[in-house]
């Protein structure tokens, strides 16, 4: 964060940055899991950046290499998530619960889309056939 104090700009680091709180060898389990979550966030940001570069490039070699780097970052996310799942007994359960909720929403929206479109088309076709 930058603070402008008259003619002087002061760089103030966030207390949430790992290097400003404790050294890694001092983390308790809660702090360690929080640091791993921060690492996952950083990997996700890297994926976003690399894929944006790949998408914006017209150079096929750049696209291929940068997308490959993004894919490596996805592997890192998986590794870090697996580590969290092993460290936190309830973590995997929360992830599964979230996945089931999304599956339910997807299934519901498919049913609504399927019913709405087919019913409207059928009723409309019937109306046109009987009223011509």
pLDDT (tens digit per residue) in 77-132: 999 999 999 999 999 999 999 999 999 999 888 888 877 655 555 554 444 444 44
pLDDT above 90 covers a percentage of the chain that reads 58
* 50 vs 11, more confident: 50
Q: What is the mean pLDDT of residues 38-48?
A: 98
Nearest to 27 by CA among 35, 39, 17, 37: 35
Q: What is the mean pLDDT of residues 9-13?
A: 51
Cα gap 19→30, rounded to integer Å: 16
Considering the entire predicted model, what is its pTM?
0.63
């Amino acid at each position: 964060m930058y603070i402008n104090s008259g003619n002087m700009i002061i760089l103030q680091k966030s207390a949430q940055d790992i290097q400003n709180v404790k050294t890694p060898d001092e983390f308790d389990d809660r702090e360690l899991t929080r640091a791993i979550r921060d690492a996952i966030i950083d990997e996700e940001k890297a994926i976003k950046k690399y894929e944006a570069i790949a998408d914006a490039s017209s150079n096929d070699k750049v696209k291929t290499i940068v997308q490959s780097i993004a894919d490596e970052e996805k592997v890192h996310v998986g590794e870090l998530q697996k580590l969290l799942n092993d460290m936190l007994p309830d973590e995997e359960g929360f992830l599964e619960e979230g996945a089931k909720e999304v599956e339910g929403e997807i299934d519901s929206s498919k049913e609504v889309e399927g019913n709405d479109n087919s019913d409207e088309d059928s009723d409309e076709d019937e109306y046109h056939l009987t009223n011509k």
